[in-house]
Amino acid sequence: MKRGLRQKGFTLIELAIVMVIIGLLIGAVLKGQAMIDDAKNKRLMNDIQGMSAAFYTYYDRYNALPGDEGATATARWAGVATGDGSGYVGGTGTAVPPSGESLEAVQALRFAGLISGDPAATTAPGNPYAGIYGFDSNAYGGTTGTRNRLVVSNVPGSVAQIIDTKFDDGLTGTGTVRGSGAYTGATITLYYFL
């Protein structure tokens, strides 16, 4: 008597169903990552606009630039050093920790309640890409000379180009938004001239 042998394993239909499920899971994960990246980009753009608005609001409210204020800064905010009153925020906006007028600008904005954080802290606000926001000044070019700027460190090159295109001309070395290098780089420092 011959017994029929039945092979054990998955049918083609079962394998197809498993492949569809795996594909759906991968698609959901990739879509979720894209949503996270979009949220980071939007937060960075909103932060840039907010920091710029805080800088100008401080100037409108106190008739002085945050960090560059003369003796009135110390009188107004205990713990904020006196700036030189040159009209430009001195120091390096990407220094960790910030120092000089760059630190004083952040502290003055915090004391005024225009940005969040402990006013006595000697750290710069962080951005969504594990970098920092800071203020300094640099040559702008042409007949306009030096201008104050918001400095945003550790920005992915592709994100920096999106921001430059949204706020300016999309070119790394011209306009009010500039990059420290080509937007094809892994990470760059973004400069937003105020």
- Look at residue 103 and tell me if it is in a domain: yes
Q: Which helix (H) or strand (E) holds 136?
A: strand 133-139
Other CB atoms within a 10 A radius of the CB of residue 192 amount to 21
In a domain, 26, yes or no: no
Instruction: Give me the residues paired with residue 148 across strands.
Output: 137
Predicted confidence at residue 4, as pLDDT, reads 59
On whether residue 31 sits in a domain, the answer given is no
Q: Where do runs of H (alpha helix) occur along 137-182?
A: 157-167
CATH of the domain at 142: 3.30.1690
Tell me the pLDDT tens digit for each residue of 113-160.
999 988 888 888 999 999 999 999 988 876 568 899 999 999 999 999
Q: How confident is the model at residue 93 (pLDDT cuts 50, 70, 90)?
A: confident
Per-residue 3-state assignment (H helix, E strand, C coil) for 33-89:
HHHHHHHHHHHHHHHHHHHHHHHHHHHHHHCCCCCCCCCHHHHHCCCCCCCCCCCCC
Alpha helices in 67-190 (DSSP H): 72-76, 100-111, 157-167
Query: Nearest Cα to 165, choosing from 151, 183, 189?
Result: 183
Mean per-residue pLDDT over the chain, rounded? 87
Q: Establish how many alpha carbons lie within 13 A of residue 154's alpha carbon, considering only the half-sphere containing its beta carbon.
A: 14
Tell whether 4 is covered by a domain.
no
In which domain, by residue range, is 153 found? 44-193
How many structural domains does the chain have?
1
16 falls within a domain:
no
Whether this prediction's pTM lies above 0.85 is answered by: no
Q: Does 5 score more than 70 pLDDT? A: no
Residues 40-79: tens digit of each pLDDT: 999 999 999 999 999 999 999 999 899 888 777 777 887 7
CA distance 194 to 186: 25
Residue 118 falls inside a structural domain: yes
Residue 33 lies in a domain: no
The answer to the question of residue 106 being in a domain is yes
In angstroms, the Cα distances linking 188 to 6, 52, 103, 120 are 63, 20, 21, 29
| Beta carbons within 8 Å of 73's beta carbon, 6+ residues apart | 64, 80, 81, 82, 83, 104, 108
Answer yes or no: is pLDDT of 99 > 90: no
Cα separation of 142 and 65, whole Å? 23
pLDDT at position 8: 77
Angle, helices 12-62/157-167, rounded to nearest 10 degrees = 50
